[in-house]
Amino acid sequence: MPSVQVVDMAGNKVSELVLSDTLFGIKPNKTVMHLAVRNYLANQRLGTQSTLTRSEVSGGGKKPWRQKGTGHARQGSTRAPQWHHGGIALGPKPRDYSYSINKKVKRLALQSAFSDKVLDSALVVLDSLDLPEFKTRAVVDMLNAVGAGKKALIVLAENDKKQVKSSANIPGVKTAQVNTVNTYDILNVDTLIIVRDAVGKLEEVYA
């Protein structure tokens, strides 16, 4: 079973924690992680891009010239796609890019992502994140103390406004709760920081 050191906000070792083999000790499945990341990114797309077809562009009701005898190619409207200010042929229209993947695939992807961070020694278990007030400096000092990289994800046991808002305006730092953590956010950071209270909940939900 994998084990990690539990540190406080000053970076000092407090204890050692044995992690669940099912969630933190499996061989990462890259194929499943790729599927989960693609699914997440597709579901984030708004799909609001839109172009006007020839029927939606204003004007063009009059035939520009007679059918024969002018030497020009025949034209029925100045709003056909080949004309300047004409409609767009086969352009994008609003659509929904989201799709779903199997729950077992999602779970395996999360387990693989957590295990990958353990293998890379990029997982930090924080004893607690106690902030007496809304203070960004306290979170910055904690990140420096534990040796976090430029991009870090802090996983909290529950939604704490002080912790979330104190981390919100730090570039590259994101917070998530046990029920909102996803494969993309885990893989997209240099350091994964999990508050000790959240470890048990993660193992209970995803292991």
The closest of 41, 195, 68 to 129, measured between CA atoms, is: 195
Q: Which of 13-17, 76-80, 90-94, 130-134 has the lowest mean pLDDT?
A: 130-134
Q: For residue range 101-129, what is the model confidence (pLDDT) as tens digits?
A: 999 999 999 999 999 999 999 999 999 88
For each of the domains in the chain, give its residue range(s) and CATH number, in order of start. 3-45+100-206 (3.40.1370.10), 47-96 (no CATH)
CA distance linking residue 50 with residue 46, whole number of Å: 11
pLDDT at 106: 94
Q: Which residue has the tokens 């009059």?
A: 62
Q: Which of 5-14, 34-43, 63-72 has the lowest mean pLDDT?
A: 5-14
Q: What is the mean pLDDT of the chain?
A: 92
pLDDT at 131: 84
Q: The whole model's pTM is what?
A: 0.83
What average pLDDT score do residues 83-105 get?
95
Helix ranges restricted to H, 88-206: 103-119, 136-145, 161-168, 183-187, 196-206
**Is the pLDDT confidence value at 1 over 80?**
no
Q: For residue range 41-66, what is the model confidence (pLDDT) as tens digits?
A: 999 999 999 999 999 999 988 999 99
pLDDT at 132: 81
Amino acid at 186: I
Beta strands (DSSP E) in the chain are: 3-7, 13-18, 123-126, 152-156, 173-177, 191-195
pLDDT at 48: 95
Q: Are 97 and 43 in contact (CB under 8 A)?
A: yes
pLDDT at 101: 95
What average pLDDT score do residues 90-98 get?
95
Q: Are 192 and 121 in contact (CB under 8 A)?
A: no
- C-alpha to C-alpha distances, 68 to 61, 76, 82, 160, nearest whole angstrom: 19, 12, 19, 75
pLDDT at 117: 94
Q: For residue range 129-165, what is the model confidence (pLDDT) as tens digits?
A: 888 888 899 999 999 998 888 999 999 988 888 889 9
Start-to-end CA span in the chain (Å): 13
What average pLDDT score do residues 12-24 get?
90
pLDDT at 44: 96
